[in-house]
């Protein structure tokens, strides 16, 4: 176990390169199960969740090789054990993404009940009801979900509630089902679009990704050469907030500004100066005092729930008061108590948080409860007086590549040390 130590008070200045998006890499890795040839995937971030997905594919029989150019070659064309074991699935909810590809291509799947961040109920009922409508026979017990199908059939299916992984799972399954599948009320996230683009690159016929209705005409065989995953918009947003919260000036490279437009708009609304180019964005908060603003999380293109905790940290030391409403997950305020240990003035009322800005935060010993909560504590530590000590940082290693190295490059005093318990 390790912890992060942060000595706050430094303005951040400089440039940082965005890493590949784990939320793009994970479904693309899962989709290699559908391919009849090896795939070379590049720009995968060095994160625990990516490692876990590779271990999961390998445990099923996929052959995985790392080449000198940084690409990973994955041959999932001959899966022998279509099972997602508990010891792997318990640490990462996205492992449920192998379910659709496995039952579509191999006719059966055994999937352990999913784990991941404890940020609220994220039912997989939509995944299961869609696959069941496609013809899969589904059984479950307290540990596993069992799926069998002789041959899946195309469907016309409306998601009762927008689901990113649900959209991805059914889209992957439909890609190799003979006939036309129509999915309605789909997630519109850039990562969904990227998965569709990857599958189309492999020979699939998917139209409408990024819109509410996606149509998939199944293809018998999918083949791939190489593909680079999308850059991480949530990582970019986190470093944008890091620049703003420290009254710094930070430029983030290798990001599509259109994928983070709502983050940029919120920072501008708060008083920061935000500029962008074709593949970069920069935040300048050196000459202004920021004003706290209300936030309500929504599916894309609304304000991302994955940025809620980071903006709560920012609002906590901005002028005025604000209300942050969490509409996507019901248990995503676990960072509140930790921020309050550092002097933040936050009160909760069901799915809303009232944040009253304070003049400063104070370093404390805090503990990360989930991935994005850990990012909010790092941001608070950057401005906290004295030293902040963050425990349980395995959460942050699931979603942020080399975070202390990147922040150090920008001028932060942050380092990692062994945790002794």
Q: Which residues are catalytic?
A: 117
- Chain CA centroid to CA 255, Å: 15
Structure tokens at 3: 């912890």
Contact indicator for 403, 395 with CB cutoff of 8 Å: no
> Please, are residues 77 and 145 in contact by the beta-carbon 8 Å criterion?
no
Is the link from the previous residue into 301 a cis peptide, with omega within 30 of 0?
A: yes
**Sign of the dihedral through C-alpha 253, 256, 259, 264:** positive
Q: For residue 342, what is the DSSP state?
A: T
Strand partners, 354: 323, 347
C-alpha angle 26/131/103, rounded to 5°?
A: 65
User: CB–CB of 147/135 below 8 Å?
Assistant: no
Closest C-alpha among 274, 362, 343, 270 to residue 311: 270
Identify the CA nearest to 236 among candidates 16, 10, 402: 16
**Rounded to an integer, what distance in angstroms lies between the CA atom of residue 419 and that of residue 147?**
42
- Round to whole Å and give the CA distance between 181 and 149: 17
Dig out the tokens for 279 from the structure.
């593949």
Look up residue 42 and give its two tokens. 């590049």
Bridge-based pairing of strands 83-84 and 108-112 is parallel
| Distance from C-alpha of 49 to C-alpha of 26, rounded to nearest angstrom | 8
CB-based contacts of 286, cutoff 8 Å, min separation 6: 11, 247, 248, 249
CA–CA distance, 147 with 248 (Å, rounded to integer): 52
């Amino acid at each position: 176990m390790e912890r992060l130590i942060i000595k706050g008070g430094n303005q951040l200045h400089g440039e940082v390169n965005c890493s590949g998006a784990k939320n793009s890499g994970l479904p693309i890795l899962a989709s290699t199960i559908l391919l009849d040839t090896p795939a070379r995937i590049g720009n995968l971030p060095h994160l625990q969740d990516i490692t876990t997905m590779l271990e999961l594919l390998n445990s099923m029989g996929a052959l995985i090789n790392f080449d000198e150019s940084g690409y990973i070659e994955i041959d999932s064309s001959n899966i022998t054990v279509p099972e997602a074991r508990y010891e792997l699935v318990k640490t990462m909810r996205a492992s449920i993404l192998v379910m659709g590809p496995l039952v579509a291509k191999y006719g059966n799947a055994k999937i352990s009940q999913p784990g991941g961040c404890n940020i609220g109920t994220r039912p997989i009922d939509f995944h299961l009801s869609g696959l069941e409508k496609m013809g899969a026979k589904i059984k479950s017990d307290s540990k596993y979900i069992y799926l069998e199908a002789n041959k899946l059939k195309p469907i016309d299916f409306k998601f009762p509630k927008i689901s990113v992984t649900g959209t991805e799972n059914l889209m992957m399954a439909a890609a190799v089902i003979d006939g036309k599948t129509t999915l309605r009320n789909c997630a519109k996230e850039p990562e969904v679009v990227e998965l569709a683009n990857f599958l189309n690159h492999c020979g699939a016929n998917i139209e409408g990704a990024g819109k509410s209705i996606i149509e998939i005409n199944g293809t018998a065989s999918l083949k791939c050469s190489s593909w680079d995953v999308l850059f991480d918009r949530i990582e970019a947003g986190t470093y944008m907030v890091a620049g703003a919260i420290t009254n710094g000036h930070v430029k983030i490279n290798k990001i599509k500004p259109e994928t983070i437009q709502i983050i940029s708009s919120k920072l501008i609304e708060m008083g920061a100066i935000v500029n962008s180019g074709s593949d970069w964005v920069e935040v300048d908060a050196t000459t202004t005092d920021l004003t706290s603003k209300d936030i309500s999380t929504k599916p894309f293109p609304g304000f991302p729930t994955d940025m809620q905790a980071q903006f709560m940290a920012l609002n906590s030391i901005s002028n005025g008061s604000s209300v942050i409403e969490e509409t996507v997950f019901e248990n995503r305020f676990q960072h509140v108590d930790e921020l309050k240990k550092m002097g933040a003035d936050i009160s909760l009322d069901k799915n809303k948080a009232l944040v009253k800005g304070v003049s400063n935060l104070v370093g404390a010993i805090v503990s990360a409860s989930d991935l994005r909560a850990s990012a909010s504590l790092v941001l608070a530590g950057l401005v906290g007086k004295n030293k902040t000590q963050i425990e349980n940082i395995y959460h942050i290693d699931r979603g942020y590549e080399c975070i202390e190295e990147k922040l150090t490059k920008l001028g932060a005093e942050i380092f990692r040390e062994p945790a002794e318990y």
